[in-house]
Amino acid sequence: MTRRWPAAAKLNLYLHVLGRRDDGYHLLDSLVAFAAVGDEITAAPAAALSLEIEGPQAPALAGDPAANLVWRAAELIAAETGRAPAAALRLLKRLPVASGIGGGSSDAAASLRALDALWRLGLDETRLAALGARLGADVPVCLAARASWLGGIGEAVEPAPDLPAVTALLVNPGLALSTPAVFKARRGAFSAPARFAAMPADAAGLAALLAERRNDLTDAAAALMPEISAVLARLERLEGALLARMSGSGATCFALFAAADEAAAAAARLGVEEPGWWVATGRLS
């Protein structure tokens, strides 16, 4: 039977920009979590490498499959282990592209794990993370796929305490946003790290701690795409929403809920009132 590998949406519960290196990369401090919603990778034996992309967001990835991070992950892990990149890969694309929730990075991470299993390579976590870092700064944390502290330019990943029961409502206005453009537009002083020692016991406590922190890229992203401000304002008005915030460099935003049924009700309402928005819910881990 074909095994399916989830590629979950990544959320930056807070994101502080600490500085900028001489090479232009920014230093970050973030608490990252993963929602139980995302893409899916399958891998099967084949004589050559192929990639089929389907799903509601597949049209955004039309073009040369060799440019996709899934394909690049396959070529990289094959080259590093001295074997031919022979596999039939399938990407079920549900997450919007260029949306601040690590869709491509999570796809690459799932592909590395799928091919490690398919080819019986037995690579340990350290080696997988090193391969992931060569594909993109977010790939190592997507390999972890659990609540983590993120540092450096994204390559420094440390486990965070388990999150309390909390569900996220994710909303994207249906528009892609360039991460380099957002970082280029960022203005103002840099922030300090803001990690906390103990995880709160419930969703309300987590939201209160996060409210003392921020996403330092929000103003820059909203200046480039005003729809982000409209999404955040709408999320803040939802019944039961504990916190509304943008993830990563945008344009996806999220609201946190203590109860999954409240998040589902809010998602259903937005689906009717804002048919052009991408809306999904998932428990965080």
Structural domain boundaries of the chain? 4-159, 167-283
Question: What average pLDDT does the segment 213-232 reach?
Answer: 98
Catalytic residues: 10, 138
Comparing 4-159 with 167-283, is the CATH topology the same? no
Could you count the other beta carbons within 10 Å of the beta carbon of residue 42? Answer: 18
The whole-model pTM stands at 0.95
Question: What average pLDDT does the segment 188-206 reach?
Answer: 97
Q: Band of the pLDDT at 1, cuts 50, 70, 90?
A: low
Could you count the other beta carbons within 10 Å of the beta carbon of residue 95? Answer: 28
Q: Band of the pLDDT at 3, cuts 50, 70, 90?
A: confident
Element (H, E) at 278: strand 278-283
- CA distances in angstroms from 262 to 117, 166, 250, listed in the order given: 38, 11, 24
- Residue given tokens 């995880």 in the structure block: 199
Say how far apart CA 271 and CA 234 lie, in whole Å: 13
φ/ψ of 97, rounded to 5, equals: -85, 155
- % of the chain at pLDDT higher than 70: 99
Question: What average pLDDT does the segment 207-223 reach?
Answer: 98
Domain covering 4-159, topology: Ribosomal Protein S5; domain 2 (3.30.230)
> Mutual orientation of helices 69-81 and 125-135 as an angle, nearest 10°?
130
Of 119, 90, 126, which is closest to residue 7 (Cα–Cα)?
Answer: 90
pLDDT per residue as tens digits for the range 15-50: 999 999 999 999 999 999 999 999 999 999 999 999
Mean pLDDT, all residues of the chain = 97
Strand partners, 279: 171
What's domain 167-283's superfamily in CATH? GHMP kinase, C-terminal domain (3.30.70.890)
pLDDT per residue as tens digits for the range 245-285: 999 999 999 999 999 999 999 999 999 999 999 999 999 99
